[in-house]
Amino acid sequence: MKRAASIAGIIIVLGLLAFPKVKDYLKASETASQNNSGSAAPLNVEVYIVKPDIVENKIFTTGTLTSNEEVELASESSGLIQEIYLREGEDVKKGELLVKINDSELKAQLKRADFRLNLAEDREKRQKQLLEKGGISQEEYDATLNEVNVLRAEVSLINAQIEKTEVRAPFTGKLGLKYVSDGSYITPNTRIATLQDIDPIKIDFSIPERYAAQIEVGNKVRFTVQGIEEPLVAQVYAKEPRIDSDTRTLQVRARSSNPDGKLLPGAFADLELTLQTIENAKMIPTISLVPELQGQKVFLLKDGVVHPQSVVTGLRNESKIQITEGVEIGDTVLTTGLLQVRPQMQVSVKQVNGE
């Protein structure tokens, strides 16, 4: 009992000795806190002033270059090659003779048919005079006239067969490698060479079906190919009228000028397609956007005071996003301090962007 009373007495004495110091410390802390709260500096923030801008709705895809026109040259008839006029890699004009097949037998048939036709035409003239004088019947004259017409048709047929012994360029273009030689026997299945028109050159590509309604004939396409540093431009001129049910994509074709022939069919291309261009769009930095349960918001600065504002967004690019509702041209949007600011809070502008 005496021991407990002694311990209690010691604690009381120590408390009385420490009380003045603790009191002074608490008073000093309260004073300092009051001083700090009264002289705290406003939060420094950076802001962006909204101004009209141009925004493009783009999609990125890949494609393949194809010839404007392309054909594998072949003969319509079989026979020995009499002469080859084509030169590999050279430009040719439409209708230019490239390969000639031996047609000596057909020319002999044509000569015989011409002799028979001339004889029949002379006989028809004489019988016509006799018919006018009543020397022969109408039936006899008609038989002779029919023979003349048959022989004329035969001459036309042989001429058509002779034309098939000539391989001509179906369009203006550039020849590829040849696969036959003088004296070779060829058939309609024999590959002679390739002919391609590569100016302009076409680009085949596909886009997801969700963009099908947005793409239009005339849309610009920027593309790059390996070996050419500068970006090139093409223009959409056609698209399939249906969606591919297997890939859920729409096949599109564009065309680009290729006067120097640097672009070659079969090359791989990276494409950037502009579906829509919006002028006077209200764009803000993406970092200014704050997600919330009901959508998205930004913090506007008006007269040095922060005001939260719900917004509706549109298109987006690398660093900015379009605001369709909630922000007007000339508004000041916070780009920093978004986690520290509160509604109606006063802030200090450290830097203004977008001026």
Q: Is residue 6 one of the residues assigned to a domain?
A: no
- Report pLDDT for 156: 94
Residues 253 and 289 in one domain: no
How does pLDDT run across 294-340, given as a tens digit for each residue? 889 999 999 889 999 999 998 888 888 989 999 999 899 999 989 88
How does pLDDT run across 251-264, given as a tens digit for each residue? 999 999 999 889 99
pLDDT band of residue 37 (cuts 50, 70, 90) is very low
Residues 272 and 320 in one domain: no
- Report pLDDT for 116: 93
- Report pLDDT for 131: 84
Residues 105 and 83 in one domain: yes
- Report pLDDT for 33: 42
Residues 125 and 185 in one domain: yes
How does pLDDT run across 51-79, given as a tens digit for each residue? 888 888 888 999 999 999 999 999 999 99
pLDDT band of residue 293 (cuts 50, 70, 90) is confident
Residues 201 and 63 in one domain: yes
**Domain enclosing residue 204, as ranges:** 59-68+197-278
Q: What percentage of the chain has pLDDT greater than the value 90?
A: 60
103 or 131: whose pLDDT is higher? 103
Q: What is the mean pLDDT of residues 211-236?
A: 91
Q: Is residue 12 one of the residues assigned to a domain?
A: no
Q: How far apart are CA 197 and CA 346, in angstroms?
A: 69
Conformational region of residue 231, where left means phi above 0, alpha means psi within -120 to 50, and beta covers everything else: beta
How does pLDDT run across 179-191, given as a tens digit for each residue? 999 899 999 999 9
Query: Among 238, 260, 278, where does a domain finish?
Result: 278
Q: Is residue 85 one of the residues assigned to a domain?
A: yes
Phi, psi for 273 (deg, rounded to 5): -105, 125
Residues 213 and 320 in one domain: no
Q: How far apart are CA 222 and CA 229, in angstroms?
A: 13
Residues 116 and 263 in one domain: no
Q: What is the DSSP string of 320-352?
A: EEEEEES--TT-EEE-S-TTT--TT-BEEEEEE
Q: Which residues contact 13 (CB under 8 A, 6 or more apart)?
A: none
Q: Is residue 295 one of the residues assigned to a domain?
A: yes
CATH number of the domain at 151, please: 2.40.50.100
Q: Name the nearest CA neighbour of 315 among 98, 139, 101, 58.
A: 58
Residues 94 and 179 in one domain: yes
Using CB atoms within 10 Å of the CB of residue 266, give its burial: 0 to 12 exposed, 13 to 18 middle, 19+ buried. Answer: exposed
Residues 80 and 185 in one domain: yes
Tell me the average pLDDT of the chain. Answer: 86
Q: What is the mean pLDDT of residues 19-48?
A: 57
- Report pLDDT for 355: 57
Residue 4 has pLDDT above 80, yes or no: no
Contact (CB, 8 A) for 305 and 334: no
Residues 88 and 163 in one domain: yes
Q: What is the mean pLDDT of residues 266-294?
A: 90
Q: Which of 29-43, 181-195, 220-234 has the weakest average pLDDT? A: 29-43
Residue 207 has pLDDT above 90, yes or no: yes
Query: Among 216, 248, 278, where does a domain finish?
Result: 278
- Report pLDDT for 90: 92
| DSSP letter, residue 42 | P
Residues 123 and 234 in one domain: no
Query: Among 147, 173, 195, where does a domain finish?
Result: 195
Residue located via tokens 């600011």 = 341
Q: Is residue 243 one of the residues assigned to a domain?
A: yes
Helix (H) and strand (E) counts in the chain: 3, 21
- Report pLDDT for 9: 56
Q: Is residue 37 one of the residues assigned to a domain?
A: no
CATH number of the domain at 291, please: 2.40.420.20
Residues 188 and 83 in one domain: yes
Q: Name the nearest CA neighbour of 45 among 305, 253, 313.
A: 305
Tokens of 6: 């002694």
- Report pLDDT for 316: 84
pTM, whole model, 2 decimals? Answer: 0.66
**Chain mean position to CA 339:** 41
CATH number of the domain at 262, please: 2.40.30.170
How many domains is the chain built from? 3
Q: Is residue 204 one of the residues assigned to a domain?
A: yes
Q: Is residue 18 one of the residues assigned to a domain?
A: no
- Report pLDDT for 30: 47
- Report pLDDT for 56: 83
